[in-house]
């Protein structure tokens, strides 16, 4: 109506879009230098309110640029389930961000509201939960988001403060399920399911090889800060947080999961005297987690224990619990659960081989967690991870309700049995692991309990399989959209002829594999290569990069 139109006209005039910049809702929302994002974030505020009206649910708006540099920032939406914004709204998001003036903005919104039949007088007014990471630009961008939300008549914004990305997604999910959804509820759920798993660890006498101490690199961001909070309540673990941001280090600069995974060197703030100690690294908004260890007598190179290996550890543990449950063939209520893994083309070939050998179905999805999440949701238990450490485990409603019943049944007949313990463990995992999105803090607690359950050191975990040597490069190009891929990004269909040329290079190396794809978050084309030796992987990556250039 007219009031609504004039409200948007008036408030949007305070947020003119930066001239000559075209933004797009990529793999992880909008990202750019923070100085040009005011208008975008304001408009995403409007978008979030509209999305809330459309779905008649609570929506999340997170201000973060994750692992990117501290002067960047970004904004993304969490849908009612806690997952990423539905892909069919992405084109509208792009248009919304790029409309040149208030008048055209209003027309675009008007048209979209009509087309989507967005109810302006539905039962629930729009409600948006806001979160941001520790970036200094976050505060004023949050203000812009609030202005955008209040440009929609009746919309309410709740500022949830400085949060990890997965905390905000968790809160949105919990709110829409009618559950308690504060930060302390989040911590409470993590801690109680963690304790439950710790209490169910088999007594293995002296054969527990898990090293006592864990050192965590907080990327000088929000994850380190939050870990300091739960650490106080985790008497069972000896965790030391480095790069918590309090020591004055810069967010993501020479630290964090992205740096550690790509460069394969010790993060800043870690001396060379950590040989043999179990270490982990979070990214800037704590949705990625990698582990690593520093080999003795080696300058700064690390042995990386990446997302693929976290996936493998989770798979081994879950498979073990499912097998125990399946041994109970006398029970009345049996169910053969489908356990699957989802990876991207970046997954190390050795990990895919290992998982298939373990008996899992392994599916491939394009880069971007929204694609992996969607595929993983098709299994009873679907584990997905990007090699960079973003991933989680999804449990289907159907499987969980079977498991609850089974657990009840076992209580009366098999209290204290191995089957009962396996059921309790799986239920605890489903509560500990974030069902909305990859979460470094909950992932870390699960890794820690599984290592103790197995009695494994990080060396034993790392030895599940040996990574093929790999190399990642990025090539700056005039127009990254010139590269178009198919088959979960394993094949480049454009520019013409390039795939054939990649094949020729790849065939020169034993166990060679290589692919290219346009980044969804940076203006580059990424090159990945793997082969039997590091030298061969490097050479292959370089020659493919030359083809792109
Ligand atoms: P792009 O820039 O599209 O490669 C990167 C990561 C993704 C994902 C997003 C979002 C790699 C190769 N790519 O995407 O996996 O994490 O950022 O943060 O690591
Ligand atoms: Zn992140």
Query: What is the reported pLDDT for 377?
Result: 97
CA 124 → CA 110, 121, 365, distances in Å?
A: 20, 8, 36
Strands (E), 44-110: 58-63, 72-78
Q: Which active-site residues does the annotation give?
A: 66
Q: What residues contact 350, with CB distance under 8 A and at least 6 apart?
A: 465, 466, 467, 468
Whose tokens are 């793997």? That residue is 530
Quote the Cα angle for 303-308-310, to 5°: 80
Which residue among 483, 520, 530 has the greatest number of ligand 1 atoms within 8 angstroms of its CB, and so is best to mutate?
A: 520
Pocket of ligand 1 (CB under 6 A): 27-28, 66, 346, 367, 386, 388, 390, 519-522, 526
Contact 170, 434 (CB under 8 A): yes
Contact 506, 514 (CB under 8 A): yes
The average pLDDT across 315-337 equals 86
The average pLDDT across 395-410 equals 94
Cα-based torsion angle of the residue sequence 373, 446, 324, 362 in order, rounded to the nearest 10 degrees: 30
> pLDDT tens digit string along 95-115?
999 999 999 999 999 999 999
Give residue 210's pLDDT band: very low, low, confident or very high (50, 70, 90).
confident
To the nearest whole percent, how much of the chain has pLDDT over 90?
86
Which residue has the least CA distance to atom 18 on ligand 1?
28
CA–CA dist 192, 105 (Å, integer): 47
CA–CA dist 371, 438 (Å, integer): 13
CA–CA dist 383, 372 (Å, integer): 9
Query: What is the reported pLDDT for 298?
Result: 61
Alpha helices in 56-132 (DSSP H): 90-98, 102-116
> pLDDT tens digit string along 493-538?
999 999 999 999 999 999 999 999 999 878 899 999 999 999 999 9
Contact 144, 41 (CB under 8 A): yes
Chain-centroid distance, C-alpha 407: 30
Q: Does the pLDDT at position 223 exceed 90?
A: yes
The average pLDDT across 376-385 equals 98
The average pLDDT across 321-342 equals 85
Q: Does the pLDDT at position 427 exceed 70?
A: yes
The average pLDDT across 198-226 equals 90
Rounded to the nearest whole angstrom, what is the distance from the C-alpha of residue 27 to the centroid of ligand 1?
7
> pLDDT tens digit string along 130-150?
999 999 999 999 999 999 999
SS3 31: strand
Token pair of 171, please?
Answer: 């809160």
3-class SS letters over 469-492: CEEEEEEECCCHHHCEEECCCCEE
SS3 306: coil
Contact 487, 440 (CB under 8 A): no
Return the ligand 1 atom nearest residue 258 CA.
Answer: 19
Q: Say how many CA atoms lie within 13 Å of 137 toward its Cβ.
A: 21
Which residue has the least CA distance to atom 16 on ligand 1?
368
CA–CA dist 126, 56 (Å, integer): 7
CA–CA dist 200, 146 (Å, integer): 45
Contact 301, 275 (CB under 8 A): no
Token pair of 164, please?
Answer: 């990890």
The average pLDDT across 341-368 equals 97
Q: Say how many CA atoms lie within 13 Å of 408 toward its Cβ.
A: 8
Q: Does the pLDDT at position 276 exceed 90?
A: no
Give residue 382's pLDDT band: very low, low, confident or very high (50, 70, 90).
very high
Considering only CA atoms, give the Rg of the chain.
Answer: 24
Query: What is the reported pLDDT for 256?
Result: 98
* Domains contained in the chain, CATH given: 2-179 (3.40.120.10), 213-305 (3.40.120.10), 308-443+454-462 (3.40.120), 470-548 (3.30.310.50)
The average pLDDT across 258-277 equals 86
């Amino acid at each position: 109506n007219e009031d609504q139109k004039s409200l948007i006209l008036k408030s949007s005039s305070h947020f003119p879009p930066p001239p000559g910049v075209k933004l797009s809702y990529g793999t992880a929302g909008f990202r750019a230098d923070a100085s040009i994002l005011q208008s975008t974030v304001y408009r995403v505020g409007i978008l979030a309110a509209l999305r809330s009206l459309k779905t008649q649910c609570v929506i999340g708006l997170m201000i973060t640029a994750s692992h990117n540099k501290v002067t960047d920032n970004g904004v993304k939406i969490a849908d009612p389930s806690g997952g990423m914004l539905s892909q069919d709204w992405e084109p509208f998001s792009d248009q919304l961000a790029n409309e040149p003036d208030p008048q055209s903005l209003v027309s675009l919104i008007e048209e979209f509201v009509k087309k989507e039949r967005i109810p302006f007088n539905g039962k629930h007014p729009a409600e948006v939960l806001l979160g941001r990471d520790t970036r200094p630009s976050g505060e004023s961008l949050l203000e812009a988001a609030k202005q955008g939300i209040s440009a929609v008549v009746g919309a309410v914004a709740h500022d949830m403060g400085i949060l990890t990305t997965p905390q905000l997604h968790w809160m949105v999910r919990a709110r829409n399920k009618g559950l308690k959804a504060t930060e302390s509820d989040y911590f409470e759920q993590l801690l109680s399911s963690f304790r439950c798993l710790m209490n169910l660890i088999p007594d293995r006498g002296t054969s527990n090889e898990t090293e006592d101490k864990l050192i965590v690199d907080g990327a000088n961001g929000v994850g380190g800060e939050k870990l300091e909070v739960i650490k106080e309540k985790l008497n069972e673990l000896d965790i030391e947080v480095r790069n918590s941001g309090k020591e004055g280090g810069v967010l993501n600069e020479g630290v964090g999961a992205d740096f550690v995974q790509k460069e394969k060197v010790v993060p800043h703030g870690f001396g060379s005297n950590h040989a043999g100690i179990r270490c982990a690294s979070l990214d800037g908004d704590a949705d990625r987690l990698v582990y690593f260890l520093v080999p003795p007598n080696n300058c700064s190179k690390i042995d990386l224990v990446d997302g693929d290996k976290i996936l493998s550890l989770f798979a081994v543990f879950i498979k073990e619990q499912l097998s125990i449950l399946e041994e109970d063939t006398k029970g009345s209520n049996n169910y053969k659960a489908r356990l699957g893994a989802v990876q991207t083309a970046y997954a190390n070939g050795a990990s895919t081989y290992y998982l298939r050998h373990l008996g899992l179905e392994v599916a491939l999805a394009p880069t971007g967690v929204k694609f992996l999440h969607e595929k993983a949701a098709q299994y009873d238990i679907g584990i997905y991870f990007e090699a960079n450490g973003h991933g989680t485990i999804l449990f289907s409603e159907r499987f969980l309700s079977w498991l609850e019943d089974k657990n009840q049944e076992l209580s009366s007949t098999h209290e204290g049995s191995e089957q009962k313990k396996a059921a309790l463990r799986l239920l605890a995992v489903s509560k500990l692991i974030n069902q909305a999105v990859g979460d470094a803090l909950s992932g870390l607690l699960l890794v820690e309990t599984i290592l103790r359950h197995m009695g494994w050191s990080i060396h034993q975990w790392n030895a599940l399989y040996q990574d093929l040597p790999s190399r990642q490069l990025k090539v700056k190009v005039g127009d990254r959209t010139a590269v178009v891929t198919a088959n979960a990004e394993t094949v480049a269909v454009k520019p013409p002829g390039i795939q054939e040329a990649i094949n020729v290079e790849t065939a020169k190396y034993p166990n060679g594999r290589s692919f290219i794809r346009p980044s969804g978050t940076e203006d580059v084309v990424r090159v990945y290569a793997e082969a039997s030796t590091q030298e061969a992987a490097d050479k292959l990556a370089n020659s493919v990069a030359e083809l792109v250039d």
